[in-house]
Structure 1
């Protein structure tokens, strides 16, 4: 077969243009993982700034919740739309453009002098994130070769590591420099733009060489019963991720206030506790894939939710030492299913990588922003201690994972 009609591509691209990429391209996986870290660390600076914004602008907990909602709405809820469009027509240019939007948002945030400007800047950061995730997920899938689970862990651990930096940003940046500290993150956004331009060029070369995410269509009848089962499974999976995100929002957005209220901690010390929770979650994300390969995806999702319950219920009643221990354990256990839920959804909808990314890491995660609004209002009306006792019961809803099909059935559907 002649190669003259095929545009130049990296040496790892195989000669048959419609075949799947066989080699794992680690330089690209690491590049998108680092950008995922940059993107999510910038997102993490929003909740990290909550105490500063609350004091500077005399905001209520409910108003703090609306800032979180604005971020989640723009960064997550619109992701399925972008992902759906990307699955039909890939747009590599969205990768650097998304980071440009993030750059603009974080720059405005540093100078935002009122609540409306804060909301606007947060929405710009959110739009940048929404543009990145579906195409970033597709790049990770493209560069994975046959190692899809590993690629997903590498990609997702970058994001969760970025999220874990939020509390440290509060400690090292916003406490000493205040709101103007956000200006320093324009450097991170600029680095993200440069890396994304490199990744987008590789992505375009692969597409020009004939890479496709979809198998050739085969004419066959679709079993209505199976289609209905897949739809029900999708709803259950999205709801589980929503509950996981809701509990995560309670810890990431409000637990520092709880620590200051109950233990009289300084804001500086309280941020270390949030970091421990999120950092443990990043480690759990990395190990979740191999654990799911050994014990089953459905089983891992179930255990990650139910296994968190005793620690979440005990958290409001322990001293400072045990609070740190419980946060580390619950963070690892709960977020061990982070990459697994994405892989599970990808097997439900083979070839629709962008749509699945938008649905699981976008819509379901973004709906957790609604939880932030609800939690903020409840804290204003009932008190922060009561709310955290109630939040401890949220992971119990993970029992719905019992209704998910097991791995054998999932693999049968993916192979058809």
Structure 2
């Protein structure tokens, strides 16, 4: 075989891999919207099921923990497996678990049925996120921060839509109306089958290019391990705080300002809408200015606002929640791409690890904070959580990847 016969396919593969496929990015973002919208129905119906089944805050925390654990523990293993053996149609299979979970949630008649339902939805999520993140990586054309931001935008938008739809439909028509949302799961299965077809065709050329392009990492294994540990601690601070907002913000507003369930859901929608709006900033800014600085601003920079929130009136609570959502939402895309650059060639494993750890911290946070709310008060929970973003100071110990690479070049 001549050199030309080898070079030509590689050049063709390189051209495919370096092209940013926006149609796929926005389609996978849409599927992420549908997936996370369906997931966000779980905390959105907490006030309803708490009253209907006489649940405690600890029970609510256990429901969230069950979902988050099933959505987190499998993700790194899915990612590690698909790094070696990509499975293009596993995305549709994962959404099938979500569909089954929604159907069970609609007819659940007690606490343990609720646990089973959210567990199935969690399994669907654990399959979806590592592989869909890989699709975004494949379609990025080198603009990894932008690709992850577009991907995350869909998820955050879906998380914001869930409470709004729950307020308009589930709170009004009851638990059985969850069944209608299974139609969105069916739509997502169709979309993900289309993505699977593209994914199947993109795997071979992208893999060829990556084998040629992946360079030896400039950092020692010890430095990489320490950096990954810092990133995981930052994920802990971010998602423990977000757990207080997604699971208990509605209860906080009802308790402190005596809002109705529907009104509190609208305020949760405003917060999650701000999260969705801020998501797009982190990735592109990280591509341009360096991901370390975006991580720093996103986590440590939000601390003054979280510390003001427990002392604000309703008007300023709404404003501060929007500011917090806008700032803190830019962290995850930057953290994920930073970690993938620390460990090149491990896209699925890193995506699974960080998505999984994020969900796990959200679940653990909900359980711990629920227990704390039962023994103290919802207000006290928000006073304690206000200090979590100060952990962002650890960002100072992360290496600047861009500077290091310039020195080596």
TM-score of Structure 1 vs Structure 2, range by shorter chain: over 0.9
Within a 5 Å distance, the mapping from 1:142-221 to structure 2 comes to: 142-208=138-204, 211-212=207-208, 214-216=210-212
Given candidates 79, 92, 99, the residue that maps to 1:96 is: 92
Give unpaired runs (5+ residues) of structure 1. 7-12
Q: Which residue of 2 aligns with 1:287?
A: 281
Q: After the TM superposition, which of the residue ranges 289-298 and 278-287 deviates more from structure 2?
A: 289-298
Alpha-carbon distance between aligned partners in 1 of 2:150 and 2:215, rounded to the nearest angstrom = 36
Once the two structures are TM-superposed, the CA of residue 41 in structure 1 deviates from its matched residue by 0.5
Given candidates 68, 73, 83, the residue that maps to 2:79 is: 83
Q: Which residue of 1 aligns with 2:320?
A: 326
Q: Which residue of 2 aligns with 1:9?
A: none
Does structure 1 residue 106 correspond to structure 2 residue 102? Answer: yes
Once the two structures are TM-superposed, the CA of residue 14 in structure 1 deviates from its matched residue by 7.7
Does structure 1 residue 125 correspond to structure 2 residue 121? Answer: yes
Once the two structures are TM-superposed, the CA of residue 191 in structure 1 deviates from its matched residue by 0.4
* Contact 1:18 1:211 survives alignment (8 Å): no
Q: Which residue of 1 aligns with 2:374?
A: 380
Once the two structures are TM-superposed, the CA of residue 307 in structure 1 deviates from its matched residue by 1.6
* Contact 1:71 1:126 survives alignment (8 Å): yes
Within a 5 Å distance, the mapping from 1:267-286 to structure 2 comes to: 267-286=261-280
Q: In 2 relative to 1, CA 394–194 (structure 1 residues): closer, same or farther, beyond 3 Å?
A: same
Other structure's SS at 1:32 match: helix
Does structure 1 residue 367 correspond to structure 2 residue 361? Answer: yes
Q: Which residue of 2 aligns with 1:345?
A: 339
Alpha-carbon distance between aligned partners in 2 of 1:144 and 1:14, rounded to the nearest angstrom = 18
Q: Which residue of 2 aligns with 1:34?
A: 30
Alpha-carbon distance between aligned partners in 2 of 1:406 and 1:15, rounded to the nearest angstrom = 31
TM-score after normalising by structure 2: 0.93
* Contact 2:247 2:366 survives alignment (8 Å): yes
Other structure's SS at 2:211 match: coil
Does structure 1 residue 400 correspond to structure 2 residue 394? Answer: yes
Q: Which residue of 2 aligns with 1:263?
A: 257
* Contact 2:71 2:359 survives alignment (8 Å): no
Aligned length: 405
TM-score after normalising by structure 1: 0.91
Structure (1/2) with the larger helix percentage:
2
Q: In 2 relative to 1, CA 243–125 (structure 1 residues): closer, same or farther, beyond 3 Å?
A: same
Alpha-carbon distance between aligned partners in 1 of 2:387 and 2:365, rounded to the nearest angstrom = 14
RMSD, aligned α-carbons: 2.4
Alpha-carbon distance between aligned partners in 1 of 2:402 and 2:206, rounded to the nearest angstrom = 32
Alpha-carbon distance between aligned partners in 1 of 2:89 and 2:191, rounded to the nearest angstrom = 12
Q: After the TM superposition, which of the residue ranges 16-25 and 196-205 deviates more from structure 2?
A: 16-25
